[in-house]
Amino acid sequence: SFAARVVLGEACVSSLAPGEMEPAGVCPGRGVNQDGTRIETLPMRTKGSRGRRTNVRVHLAYYGPAFTGFAWTPENDKDYTDSTPRSGDATMSSANANIQEDDAVDATRGSSSTEWRYGERSVSASIQRALRPLFSSDKERPIHSAGRTDKGVHASAQCFSVWSNASAFTPRAVRDALTAHPATAVGAWRVVGEPEEVSDSFHATFCATWRRYVYVLPMRALGDEEGTPFDVAVDPIATNAMLNALEGKRLDMSAFARATPPGKDSTCFVKVARAFEATVPASKGAERGVGRGARRRKSSQGFSEDE
């Protein structure tokens, strides 16, 4: 499908635009601290933490239907993330080999508890499992993401950060571990660009600077898909005019900020808001006419394209 090609880096949503549209990519900025300080001005290590602390920022593209969503859930992921390699060898290479062997054996046996299964694990749990060998001399650390996608939603460059004191924890090792995960082999995810070490003050949830969303809105019924029927014509030109009116404005998003503490700023700045009609190539060679709206807002690092 077109979305799968976007995840693999073989296509871009910008190619659907009738005019010029900036291709999706990774923002090179270092991010903004919660107090508004540009992280470029801060040293790599600011907290005086004990031991060697390496904070790595990664951008990951993934195919929505291959996962249950981004967030870890106990019903889908607990057994998967709780399972451990069978070998007692704590070296990174042997632990990684054992995890891959476990996944291969589980897939052959049809296990439902410890294997990675297409469409049955979250992105977060899959990242945890992939990076586990790197924490052999340290405890596992949480995955911080710049936003979370729901089930079935794709990402072209989802930003997340994770840190560790382990000596084996390097940007190259993180990339290799993610690439070795079964999700790579089936085209379910791809590391975009090179993971990089960033200041230990960078936290993807709070410090990334902006995010881009893309929504695909069907212009007509597609087969037997479930949904609410409507008989109102969609006018892409009028929709675009309404969205354009939001550009350059700050909007209070408190209604959507469920986990935001009371009193904390919940406004966002809309950089670009637009809509246009385009045709998205379908998986079976057919074409589907859709109306597409895209918006960018100040909040997080990199791009996330939801189709």
- pLDDT tens per residue across span 241-287: 999 999 999 999 888 877 777 777 788 889 999 999 998 887 654 43
Biggest distance spanned by C-alpha atoms of the chain: 63
Give the whole-angstrom CA distance, residue 128 versus residue 145.
Answer: 13
CB distance 43 to 172 below 8 Å: no
Average pLDDT of 10-26? 84
Q: Compute the CA torsion angle 27, 144, 97, 119 (nearest 10 deg).
A: -90
CA proximity to 242, closest of 277, 268, 273, 211: 273
pLDDT range class, residue 81, cuts 50, 70, 90: confident
What confidence score (pLDDT) does residue 291 get? 35
Each residue's pLDDT tens digit, 95-112: 344 444 444 444 433 445
What span, in angstroms and rounded, lies between the C-alpha atoms of 57 and 30? 10
Summarize pLDDT for 207-221 with one digit per residue, the tens. 877 788 888 888 776
Q: Three-state DSSP class for 94?
A: helix
Predicted local confidence at residue 46, as pLDDT: 61
pLDDT at 92 over 70: no
The percent of residues above 70 in pLDDT, for the chain, comes to 73
- Residue 226 has a pLDDT of 65
User: Does residue 51 have a pLDDT over 70?
Assistant: no
pLDDT for the residue 234: 82
Q: pLDDT higher for 110 or 188?
A: 188
pLDDT at 286: 40
Spell out the domains of the chain, with CATH numbers in brackets.
3-207 (3.30.70.580), 209-298 (no CATH)
Q: Mind listing the pLDDT tens digit for each residue in 115-153?
A: 899 999 999 999 999 999 998 878 888 999 988 888 999
> pLDDT band for position 223 (50/70/90)?
low
What pTM was estimated for this model as a whole?
Answer: 0.77
